Amino acid sequence: MQVVEMKSKLEEKIKALEKEKTALLEEIGQLREIVELNEKAKGLEDEVNRLKDELETLKGKIPEEFLQELSGRDVEKCIGCEE
């Protein structure tokens, strides 16, 4: 009788450990996704900031008389236009 009880307890322990392992692996996978998404967001944020800086630098190189001609028009919208 003791052997059957020991076997049963070990089988229950194994099932509990397998269930915990599955839950831990799932949580690890979700946390990895969060880390990857956070890194991607940070990279895109850095890229956007660099582009904004470049835009301001380029705007600063436009002669004042051209800026006056464009008054009333959004310079950012005009960038790349064919007019």
- Tens of pLDDT, residue by residue, the chain (83 residues): 799 999 999 999 999 999 999 999 999 999 999 999 999 999 999 999 999 999 999 888 888 888 777 776 654 555 555 54
Cα–Cα distance measured from residue 44 to residue 33, given in angstroms and rounded to the nearest whole number: 16
- Give the distance from CA 27 to its chain's centroid: 18
pTM over 0.75: no
- pLDDT given at position 66: 80
